[in-house]
Amino acid sequence: MQDLLKNAGQRALEYAMKYNVQAEVYASSQREMQIEAASHQVATLKEASESGLAVRVLNGGRLGFAYTSDLKPDALHEAVDAAIAVSKFMPVDEHLQLTPAGLAYPQMDTYDDDIGQRTVKEKISLVFEAEAIAQGTDRRIAVIERSVFEEKESRLAICNSLGLDVYGQGNYCSLYLYAVAREDGDAQGGFGSMSRRRYDELDARQVGNEAAQRALRSLKARSMASATLPCVLEPYVAVKFLGLLARMVDGEAVLKGKSLLGDKLGRNVAADCLTVVDDATLSGGLATFPFDDEGVPAQKQTLIEKGGLKGFLYNNQAAHRAGADSTGHAQRMSYRSLPSISPSNLTISAGNVNDKDMLGVAKGLYVTDLMGLHTANPVSGDFSLGASGMLIENGRLSYPVRGMVVAGNMIQLLQDIEAVGNKLRFYGSRGAPSLRVSALSIAGD
């Protein structure tokens, strides 16, 4: 596959350069498998793969873009011709840039042969094991609604008219389970999940136990009165807030005036116990890769350091507009799309507070889930979100609560963080420890 992608890329590039334009060719191959089970029966088994190639041309500063899923020479030439034709109707953009050759790339292990070599039977057994663990945890675990094994792999070759020529490959696997607990007419669900770069690091016992415990702890949840209380955000919830923060440090959003943080570079925007890092070189990270989708080397970018805003994420175009260097955060959904800005392994750095001390308040709310975070405004930072969790009383988790609305402002929340947990937990390529916020407004009954 490496030779196929690289040869197709070079063939398309050589043809494009006959037009006397700058050109970039992005050739990729994707494969994924999913095994889904329920009640110890395989419900679906899917495997799919696709390959394709995209051409970007800069024709006198005008962008042309086209793609093809056919890697035969005639189809490659047609894609180049189409990109050239499109470019003639586009406005001139002096900020369009290609990645130069001669850059240094980090050495990293992003591919595990074991994932593809394991048999389907072994992967099904792993799914069934997670189910059995969850069901054996407690008699109140009534049903396993969904148990899933998933694997994904990708291969990528990028070359351009400046001499850039890079190739990389990566894969990972995941295990996910959703369990339902029932007691006295009440039914509540809970999930467990794990994604790893190595197959032998998947732990069915941990996933099954986590799903069961999440479901069980939500049983017989009560309402609570409106209050302003300290809140502990468990890692899953903290990761959700990272999604909002990612939109605020997007360099393109900053340039367009669509980020609350746009004018705050170099200023304190959070408590001094908070550090946020995006690291495309992180060992074992799901988004770890030697280069981004424009061929810029992977790197580590500190966004917030001890509360101070240190930088934003850029691709080549946004970086040129900002008078900065690309941070290596150009990402494509597939070969069918142009690159945009997206984080890699985005994390809140672990602190030094243990689980017991995180709960050290007389009364508070341990937030286990938030709903509607996509409605939060990245320009104003305001949010109003459905929430569920557990009441904290005298430093201990008391009883489950639900049906509340948590409201606030992102900057205020960041500045009100008073404790950071010492255990980092990843959900996909984003990771966070628990966070304790000194006060949040909670609307209940």
Q: What is the pLDDT of residues 98-156, one digit of tens each?
A: 999 999 999 999 999 999 999 999 999 999 999 999 999 999 999 999 999 999 999 99
The pLDDT, as a whole number, for residue 78 is 97
The pLDDT, as a whole number, for residue 3 is 86
Please state, in angstroms and rounded to a whole number, the distance separating the CA atoms of residues 101 and 294: 11
Residues 171 and 182: beta-carbon distance below 8 Å: no
What tokens were used for 276? Answer: 């946020």
pLDDT exceeds 80 at position 158: yes
Please state, in angstroms and rounded to a whole number, the distance separating the CA atoms of residues 64 and 77: 14
The continuous run of DSSP H or E covering 444 comes out as: none
DSSP-based three-state secondary structure for 432: strand
> What are φ and ψ of residue 60, in 5° steps?
65, 35
The pLDDT, as a whole number, for residue 308 is 98
pLDDT by residue (tens digit) across 14-32? 999 999 999 999 999 999 9
pTM metric for this prediction: 0.94
DSSP for residue 419: E
Can you tell me the mean pLDDT for 5-17? 96
Q: Is 10 exposed, middle or buried (0-12, 13-18, 19+ CB in 10 A)?
A: middle
Select from 442, 168, 403, 162 the least CA-distant residue to 293. 168
Q: How far apart are the first and last CA of the chain?
A: 60
pLDDT exceeds 80 at position 1: no
What single string gives the DSSP state of each residue in 312-328?
Answer: -B--HHHHHHHTS---S
pLDDT by residue (tens digit) across 348-366? 999 999 999 999 999 999 9
Select from 62, 53, 46, 137 the least CA-distant residue to 94. 62
Q: How confident is the model at residue 302 (pLDDT cuts 50, 70, 90)?
A: very high
Q: How confident is the model at residue 445 (pLDDT cuts 50, 70, 90)?
A: confident
pLDDT exceeds 90 at position 372: no
Please state, in angstroms and rounded to a whole number, the distance separating the CA atoms of residues 190 and 364: 22
The pLDDT, as a whole number, for residue 379 is 86
What tokens were used for 304? Answer: 């917030």
What tokens were used for 71? Answer: 């890697």
The pLDDT, as a whole number, for residue 252 is 96
The pLDDT, as a whole number, for residue 102 is 95
The pLDDT, as a whole number, for residue 2 is 81
The pLDDT, as a whole number, for residue 367 is 96
Distance, C-alpha 85 to centroid of its chain: 35
Please state, in angstroms and rounded to a whole number, the distance separating the CA atoms of residues 187 and 433: 29
pLDDT exceeds 90 at position 259: yes
Please state, in angstroms and rounded to a whole number, the distance separating the CA atoms of residues 309 and 414: 11
Give the gyration radius of the chain's Cα atoms. 24
Q: How confident is the model at residue 40 (pLDDT cuts 50, 70, 90)?
A: confident
What single string gives the DSSP state of each residue in 26-92?
Answer: EEEEEEEEEEEEETTEEEEEEEEEEEEEEEEEEETTEEEEEEES--SHHHHHHHHHHHHHHHTTSPB
How many other C-beta atoms are found inside a 10 Å radius of the C-beta of residue 242?
Answer: 19
The mean of the pLDDT values for the chain is 95
Percent of the chain at pLDDT exceeding 90: 95
CATH of region 2-215, choose from 3.60.15.10, 3.30.2290.10, 3.40.50.720, 1.10.10.10: 3.30.2290.10
Residues 179 and 212: beta-carbon distance below 8 Å: yes
The pLDDT, as a whole number, for residue 353 is 95
Q: What angle do CA 421, 422, 426 make, to 5 degrees?
A: 85
Domain spans, the chain:
2-215, 221-445
The pLDDT, as a whole number, for residue 327 is 97
The pLDDT, as a whole number, for residue 172 is 98
pLDDT exceeds 80 at position 182: yes
Can you tell me the mean pLDDT for 216-237? 95
Contacts of 356 (CB under 8 A, 6+ apart): 395
What single string gives the DSSP state of each residue in 399-415?
Answer: EEEEEEEEEEEHHHHHH
CA quadruple 191, 194, 199, 201: dihedral sign: negative
